[in-house]
Chains A and B, each alone.
Chain A
Amino acid sequence: MEQLKTIGRELAMGSQGGFYQSKEFLDLVKSIGEARSKAEEDRIVLGEIETLKRRVSEPDIPKRKMKEYILRLVYVEMLGHDASFGYIHAVKMTHDDSLLVKRTGYLAVTLFLNEDHDLIILIVNTIQKDLKSDNYLVVCAALNAVCKLINEETIPAVLPQVVDLLAHPKEAVRKKAIMALHRFYQKSPSSVSHLVSNFRKRLCDNDPGVMGATLCPLFELVSTDVNSYKDLVISFVSILKQVAERRLPKAYDYHQMPAPFIQIKLLKILALLGSGDKQASENMYTVVGDIFRKCDSSSNIGNAVLYECICCVSSIYPNPKLLESAADAISRFLKSDSHNLKYMGIDALGRLIKISPEIAEQHQLAVIDCLEDPDDTLKRKTFELLYKMTKSTNVEVIVDRMIDYMISINDNHYKTEIASRCVELAEQFAPSNQWFIQIMNKVFEHAGDLVNIKVAHNLMRLIAEGFGEDDDSADSQLRSSAVDSYLHILGEPKIPSVFLQLICWVLGEYGTADGKYSASYITGKLSDVAEAYSNDETVKAYAVTALMKIYAFEIAAGRKVDMLPECQSLMEQFLASHSTDLQQRAYELQAVIGLDAHAVESIMPSDASCEDIEVDKALSFLNGYIQDSIEKGAQPYIPESERSGMLNISNFRNQDHHGASSHGLKFEAYELPKQTVQSRIPPATLASTEFVPVPEPMSVRESYPTTIVPSASSDAESTELKLRLDGVQKKWGRQTHSPATSTSSSTSKKTVNGIKQVDGSNTSNSSTWETYDSRKHVEINSEKQKLAASLFGGSSKTEKKPATGHKISKPSSHMVEKSHVRKSSMEIASEKKALVHQPPDLLDFGEPTVQSSDPPSVDPFKELEGLLEPTTQLGSTAAAATNSPDIMGLFTETPGGTHNKDDSDILSSLSKQPVTNMVGGATSTQVAQSSKGPNRKDSLEKDSLVRQMGVTPSSPNPNLFKDLLG
């Protein structure tokens, strides 16, 4: 009888499986699985694409066929091939009435399309309709699509409906609506800023899942504006307390921890809210302390929560007791054998040393171990820690280590990062100039192409300006040592472009300054550079300018200039160069050589790269010429603002474009900031913008400044840095303008400035690690000890107060009152919540609706056999025959006894869940046990099934059947 039942079930499953996928598709998957090489796989997939292209364009395809084609397209795309020809069919599927088809359509479009795809506009209407559906599963499918596909432009189309769904009776819908709003917030914060109260309301949702989901948008909101959410501290703390006290349903437990994912999210939010706020932090101390105590440090998830606690403790206003527990947890992490925990320990240490620098010292050996670990990830994390604790006493050791590591890796992304860190540390803590130049040389030599060009310009300036001391001899010594080292480095085979530019510049400025090297030697080297790197225009330009400087210094010193033959040929080449820049430089060089000593000296004074060039902003030297012209009948100049039909936008002052602004005519330069601002200007002032595009006069005038400006500052690169031309436009710019334009220009100006300031503060976050101090270390004779000593040691006890940025905010009476009100309402909310949670297991599966859902969850793998060839009698009977003994065999086992033993630790929570909850009837309980039973049996079963299908386990991947959790 039992046997009959199983056979019946299998037959049912078989037909279901056949419904999903055809033989063709299975063959495709199989052949790809057996492909021996990427090329073979590509060939198969390309063939499949051809087939699908043909098939999808056939007329009158039955829906279920189409559904399969779409899934095949998904598969093809997953393997990295282009399936865009089928996107439109997936879009069409979303329009279908049947949920079955619609769901596949939505799945496909969310996988195919990015939010900026043209086809999305065709889906929006469907989504709108589906969001209103009375079938909650349709709504869920639509919300999934909303999260992926709706972009900034289309948010308004669905926003009202999504907001309405926040009150949907099904918790799954509420949860997804919250997530969708979170997505909207990420894409365009202004679109949902009025909905903040809705998020707060959802925080008190009866369903813990919805409450947990609400924490995502709240975290984001809090991180952008902490102060508006201070009143929620009490609520968050009380929720966290309830979670930690296991007040949530058992279903939210994970590996014996009560809702750890929710705990982590809450701790993250509290860390933000308590940062620098003593009063708010005091509310958190108890609960965070409780969690520290309750956390099970033997499980991974327990450690995840512990780590989050440490992050929270190091962010909120410091509390000695909590800091102690955090330090304990860190030392447990660092002492662990697991690399994961060591990694987290190092990271946590980096957070905590900001507050209590002394704790790094206890762990110095562990840190050194991590630094020397073969694991790259751990090593990098340790470098991050070292970077945080660098000070002038250990900078040499740390930077040396960093550079060694930088040389050893190939990962360009990380190389860039570590190079910029080296530069930053060297600039901040350099013990001597010599050392600094040496380090910079190394950085440029090994990561030159990855370093920001600004770093090179900074170094040029540093060499030119010296270190600001009055001692000139030190500066010249620095320069000669730089020249020496560069001449030496030029012997290396391949040098990054940025470094070459730096070298050329320094050789040009100071190559002959100390008289150690002759001009012909330096010029010879420079022309070698220009020749060796002949495909790098920038380097050649630097080299020519450097040559010009050397010759100019020679002429100015009254010596005769003999151009080396190789220089001469180089010049000839450049005079005919396709690059106008190079050509101009070459002509300038030619012209300079032809001048007498006096003229040359005033053009190219020696070591004057730091001198300010005085610019006659009024262009008074042209007065005579203008007078002449006017006398000859030329039109006098009319200021731009006095001309009709023209908007006075010369008042937009932009520092970056001072050169252009000197004429007050160049409209183009201002376009960019103006456009970004336009969207923020209230609509009333928008009208003024219609005057802005004046293309014709612009193009004419544009040519004027571009020819003038470069000739003023064309020669020395360094002088470009020094030009201060701002304020120039006052000469011609008119100060008066119509009120309408003035409002628009002033608002936009303000915003531009605002943005600028924000940028500035972001980039100039000077690190304050200097304040870290350490004590004397214990003397032990080993290399590691020495290293540790150099890193952590240094008896200089600069006992500065760590700049943790904590401020004691004075509690205003208003705040207190507010929080009281909040508290009482929260108490009510929590009471309500408790009430709701009391009925035992709301989420029980005993609901009638679940009955029908049992079969697929029992053993979907059996579908596979049906997928094979539902028509061939032989196959299905064979499958039944091979299967039934297995099932029968299971009956002989004592139910529950053996399989519990077989389950690994990881699965213990799985097995603890009452299996009967998943399935309804008595027979299916047995089957469920078989599916949860010993893995060996399962894999055997699957193995035999799959063999029938033709996938042989001997082919590339014998592990295919291995239980993932086994």
Chain B
Amino acid sequence: MIHFVLLISRQGKVRLTKWYSPYSQKERTKVIRELGGVILSRGPKLCNFVDWRGFKVVYKRYASLYFCMCIDQDDNELEVLEIIHHFVEILDRYFGSVCELDLIFNFHKAYYILDELLLAGELQETSKKTVARLIAAQDSLVETAKEQQGSISNIIAQATK
């Protein structure tokens, strides 16, 4: 099971956090500080896995951003590495050549995408196409809602003139 997902920039800034196991706010801060210290200081040739408090953290660097997932001792690390890549590919498809800045300003969208990929700490959907389709469906709904709202506010605006 995946216990949490962290996105940390090379400067140690948090870009996204998702906790599937209960951690208090204090613990979260501590976890991020601890892991940031360990992972950011690791050399490029070392393995993408770190032992941490009896768990394993699998991380991968994409440009200046580190994607980290914390898993149980008996999980398959290579698989998790590919789950990370799977997530990045979906982000890439959604944002179009995704970069760190996309995630900074649209962090909520990244959360929505993550929610379609992982649920309750398990991989929920393995098809990129299905994830993309669900996100698109949600976005389109948001779109129509906005249009409706816009037209209503227009009407009101005109009426009050």
Contact = CB atoms under 8 A, between A and B. Distances in A.
Contacts, number: 279
A856 B95 CA distance: 8
Given A304-B82, A963-B99, A175 B105 contact: no
Interface in B105-151: 105-109, 111-112, 115, 119-120, 122-130, 132-146, 149
14 contacts: A29-B104, A80-B25, A107-B111, A144-B119, A175-B125, A209-B125, A261-B82, A301-B82, A304-B78, A307-B78, A375-B46, A856-B143, A918-B132, A938-B96
By Cβ-Cβ distance, the 6 closest A-B pairs, closest first, are: A931-B96, A959-B64, A304-B78, A853-B136, A962-B63, A964-B62
A98 B145 contact: yes
B29 A946 contact: no
A320 to B, nearest CB: 25
Contacts of B132: 857, 918
Interface in A664-692: none
Given A99-B145, A959-B64, A962-B64, A29 B105 contact: yes
Contacts of A111: 18, 111
Interface residues of A, number: 121
Interface string A780-798: 0000000000000000000
B79 A344 contact: no
Given A175-B125, A861-B95, 6 more contacts: A114-B23, A254-B126, A343-B77, A377-B46, A850-B140, A942-B101
> Which of A78, A183, A854: most chain B Cβ within 10 A?
A78
A344 B94 contact: no
A75 to B, nearest CB: 7
Contacts of B45: 339
Nearest to B136: A853
Interface in A170-187: 172, 175-176, 179-180, 182-183, 186
A960 B97 contact: no
Contacts of B142: 99-100, 103
B50 interface: yes
> Which of B79, B88, B96: most chain A Cβ within 10 A?
B96
A140 B134 contact: yes
Given A213-B124, A301-B78, A857 B18 contact: no
Nearest to A961: B99
Contacts of B86: 254
A956 interface: yes
Contacts of A829: none
A116 interface: yes
Interface in B63-104: 63-65, 76-79, 81-83, 85-86, 88-89, 91-102, 104
A964 B126 contact: no
A702 B60 CA distance: 59
B130 A137 contact: no
A324 B148 CA distance: 65
Contacts of A939: 97, 99
Contacts of B14: 78-80
A182 B122 contact: yes
Contacts of B10: 957, 959
Contacts of A115: 22
A847 to B, nearest CB: 8
B79 to A, nearest CB: 4
Interface string A895-922: 0000000000011011001000110000
B53 to A, nearest CB: 5
A343 B80 CA distance: 14
B158 interface: no
B92 to A, nearest CB: 5
Contact of B93 (A176, A303, A910): A910
A108 B89 CA distance: 25
Contact of A307 (B47, B76, B100, B145): B76
A33 interface: yes
